[in-house]
């Protein structure tokens, strides 16, 4: 019986050491499937691309060095022409694995052929929950995530699906881009990420596209650590880029207030 083939991509813009730690974590923990890994460096100004290309990861790791910062989605799409896997993983450089999450998610997808895309339970390095199962982003939901106002709390809880039993797999409308798995044939059929987004919200967009092919699920039995630097909250420039991406998303899919 042929072994399941998985591919993974990490897009890097600065912080090569963190990306290398994520890559080593994937390689060391993944035992149950055949894994190929690509690091796409988006012309990091700190020389991360050159540094990563010189690293010995103990296994074949391809490093693609872009000549300019092409953005999150286009960076991930750079691997599309060379994919020959059954499942493809989109991974942030601030992710580390505790166990063989890749193989477990592949096995879960094998057992659920109607599911085309899935994300695991994500926690901070401390173990604190990140609540990444989400409904579609609405204007008030996004506002609630940025401003801790009491009258928005109920809207935030609904957006984060805290009114559902998140100890069980749940169908979701927004699969976080920091770590998800998608059937490679579906990723290829949709042409990868919509490259008209530079950064932010492209994960909500690709979830909507994936739903044309099947279900998108939250799988809480599989847990992954994610540092989650939250740049959009720390820097006004990043927050503004997030707003622009949300406006683009609503123009494409329709505006929703609540």
Packing angle between helix 236-253 and helix 139-146, nearest 10 degrees? Answer: 160
Instruction: Give buried/exposed letters for 184-210 (b at 16+ CB in 10 A, else e).
Output: bebbeebebbbbebbbbbbbbbbbbbb
Q: What is the pTM of this model?
A: 0.94
Q: Name the more confident of 166 and 2.
A: 166
Please state, rounded to an integer, the average pLDDT across all residues of the chain: 94
pLDDT of 257 > 90? The answer is no
Distance CA 237, CA 243 (A): 10
- The DSSP bridge partners found for residue 148 are none
CATH tag for 5-136+168-231 (out of 3.30.428.10, 3.90.550.10, 3.30.465.10, 3.20.20.70): 3.90.550.10
Tokens for 107, please give them.
């096995």
Q: Label residue 235 by pLDDT band (50, 70, 90).
A: low
For 16-75, what is each residue's pLDDT tens digit?
999 999 999 999 999 999 999 999 999 999 999 999 999 999 888 999 999 999 999 999
3-state secondary structure of 168: coil
pLDDT digits (tens, 9 = 90+) for 99-144: 999 999 999 999 999 999 999 999 999 999 999 999 999 999 988 8
Give the pLDDT of residue 232: 44
Q: What pLDDT score was predicted for residue 147?
A: 80
């Amino acid at each position: 019986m042929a072994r399941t083939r998985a591919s993974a991509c990490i897009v890097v813009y600065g912080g090569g050491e963190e990306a290398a730690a994520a890559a080593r974590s994937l390689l060391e923990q993944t035992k149950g499937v055949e894994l190929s890994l690509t690091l796409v460096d988006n012309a990091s100004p700190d020389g991360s691309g050159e540094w990563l290309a010189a690293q010995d990861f103990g296994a074949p790791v391809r490093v693609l060095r872009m000549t300019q910062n092409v953005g999150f989605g286009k960076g991930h799409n750079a691997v599309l022409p060379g994919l020959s896997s059954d499942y493809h993983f989109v991974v942030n450089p601030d992710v580390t694995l505790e166990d063989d999450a890749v193989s477990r998610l592949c096995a879960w997808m094998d057992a659920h052929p109607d599911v085309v895309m899935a994300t695991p339970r994500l926690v901070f390095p401390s173990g604190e929950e990140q609540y990444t199962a989400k409904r579609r982003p609405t204007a008030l939901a996004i506002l609630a995530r940025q401003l801790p106002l009491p009258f928005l709390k109920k809207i935030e809880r609904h957006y984060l699906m805290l009114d559902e039993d998140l100890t069980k797999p749940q169908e979701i409308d927004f699969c976080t881009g920091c770590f998800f798995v998608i059937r490679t044939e579906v990723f290829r059929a949709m042409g990868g990420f919509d490259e008209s987004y530079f950064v932010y919200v492209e994960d909500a967009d690709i979830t909507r596209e994936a739903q044309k092919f099947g279900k998108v699920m939250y799988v809480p039995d599989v847990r992954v650590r994610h540092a989650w630097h939250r740049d959009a909250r720390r820097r006004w420039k990043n927050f503004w880029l997030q707003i622009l991406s949300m406006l683009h998303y609503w123009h494409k899919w329709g505006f929703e207030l609540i």
